[in-house]
Structures are given as structure tokens and as C-alpha cells.
Amino acid sequence: MNNYRIQSNNLARHKGFSLLEMAVVLIILGFVLGAILAPIQAQRQMLHQSQTENTLEAAKKALIGFAQTKGRLPCPAIAGGGGSEKPLGGGACTQQIGLLPAVTLGIQPIDSDGFAVDAWNNPIRYAVTQVNTAGGAGTPDFTTSSEMANVGISLLAPDLRVCATAASCTATINLANNAVAVIYSLGESGSQASGGTDETENLNAVANVDTVFVSHEPSATGGNEFDHMMVWISPYVLYNAMIEAGQLH
């Protein structure tokens, strides 16, 4: 009887797994799942970046189309403004740097507040030059109807600056020193945090501290992470489009 009981106990132990064996299995399973999920997450991130690039390019085209029709660029939208430019009809903008006026432009996708959003569902930002040329009508050249035509191409001087880094950004070292408008996404992180000096520069622009922007490839470098995405409108592209539409001569 005792021998039968011992054999039964030994058999039960051989049929089960020890805690150590279970731990090893779970560790291996974790490695396997990590190897599977990492490429999926990378693919999802690439998809979001591609979708946002397309949205920014579509916004750029919509802004140029608006200028061809209205003879000016729209003002940015502001929080609580329902996605329309402020003020309606342009002129001196309520904010030089704000949100893309999706309702005014008639573009999608938008969120429940009427703001155009990127692939991470964060609102897309928009800045437009507020240069007021001496001898003009006394209101910003690029957001006042017919003011660009009244001032003339030779005197127009948009002043938004885009640089490859915040550390090396001057009137002579830049990607653009005369951008008319800048359209950008703050990436997956939104406006909640800054990864370093380059993102901080764009967050300064969000806070209307300055009109300098930074644009470069995404970076995971510690202390200066960067996931913002940006396009801008060159004055020469805008002028050519408006000349074709009969808004400039």
C-alpha cells in the first residue's frame, strides 16, 4: 500500500510543471511575443507618419487653393473657435500661430471641435506671416484680401523661419527664411511634453513666443527626441499659383 502511494505521488509530480519550469516558459513566451509585436508597432508608427504627411500636404494644397480664390491666406483657428479662422474674413489675425482652420478650408479629418487632426488625433498647427508692409493698407499683407496684389510681389517680405536645428538657426543658416505659412504636427506626443531643444522651439511657436520652427527627420536621441512633422509654403510657390489664378500680376 505504501509503495503504491509513493508511486502515485511520483507520477503526479512528473505530470505537472514546477514553478521554475513555468517561469522559464513565461520568459520564453515573453521574448516570442516581443519579437512579434515590435515589427507590428514599427509598421503602425510608419503608417501614422505616412498618413500625417499626406494630411499636411493636403492642407498645404488647400491653403494655396484658398489664396487663389480669396486673394489671401486664412488666419489660424483658435481654441474654442469651432475650427474657423479668427477673425472671419481675415485681416489682422487673432493669433499668428494657432490651429489649422479646417472648417474654413473645408478639409477632413476633423475632431469634435472642428480642428484638423493628424494620424494620432492631435490637432494640426498652422502659422501665417503677419508682415505689414509700409505703404500698404495698414493690415497684414498675406491675410488681408487683395493686399498682396496691392503691395506687389517685389515688396512682399514673408518672415517665418524654418531651420534644421534650433542650435544652428540664423538669417543665413536655415531651410527657409521667408516662409509664408507653416503647417505642422506635434507627432504622437502632441503638446504634452518636449523631447529637447528642437521640439521646444516648436512648442515656443505654439505659445506664440517666436516665429522660428524646426524641421528634420524623427530622432530618438536621448535628450533631444524629435517626432514633429512639418511642411511650409514658399512665397514663390504661392505667388506662381496666385498669378495663374489672376490674383497677382
pLDDT confidence of residue 120: 93
Contact by Cβ (8 Å): 19, 13: no
Average pLDDT over residues 189-207: 77
More confident: 246 or 135? 246
- The rounded mean pLDDT for the chain is 86
3-state SS class at 163: strand
16 falls in which pLDDT band (50, 70, 90)? low
Higher pLDDT, 21 or 169: 169
Q: Which helix (H) or strand (E) holds 5?
A: helix 2-15
What's the whole-number mean pLDDT along residues 40-44? 67
Measured CA distances, 169 to 84, 158, 173, 174, 203 (Å): 32, 17, 6, 6, 16
Band (249; pLDDT cuts 50, 70, 90)? confident
The pLDDT assigned to 39 comes to 61
**36 class by beta-carbon count within 10 Å (0-12 exposed, 13-18 middle, 19+ buried):** exposed
Q: Contact at 8 Å (CB) between 237 and 64? A: yes
DSSP H helices, 156-216, are 197-206
pLDDT higher than 80, residue 14: no
Residue range 222-234: mean pLDDT, rounded: 89
Q: How does pLDDT run across 79-114, given as a tens digit for each residue?
A: 988 999 999 999 999 999 999 999 999 998 899 899
- Does position 147 have pLDDT exceeding 60, yes or no? yes
Q: Where are the beta strands (DSSP E) in the chain?
A: 97-99, 125-128, 160-163, 176-179, 181-185, 212-214, 229-233
| DSSP symbol at 231 | E
- CB 214, CB 166: distance < 8 Å: yes
Cα 45 from Cα 185, distance rounded (Å): 14
Share of the chain above pLDDT 90, in %: 59
* pLDDT score for 30: 75
Asked if pLDDT for residue 6 goes beyond 50, the answer is no
pLDDT of residue 38: 60
pLDDT, residue 11, reads 45
Rounded average pLDDT over 38-49: 73
- Kindly tell me if the per-residue pLDDT of 66 is higher than 60: yes
pLDDT band at 41 (very low <50, low <70, confident <90, very high): low
Residue 123 pLDDT greater than 70, yes or no = yes
Q: Is there a contact between 49 and 229 (Cβ–Cβ < 8 Å)?
A: yes
Beta partners for 116? 110
Sheet holding 212-214, edge to edge: 176-179, 160-163, 212-214
Q: How confident is the model at residue 203 (pLDDT cuts 50, 70, 90)?
A: confident
What is the reported pTM?
Answer: 0.81
Cβ-contact 126, 186 below 8 angstroms: no
Give the orientation angle of helix 19-70 with respect to helix 235-244, to 10 degrees. Answer: 50
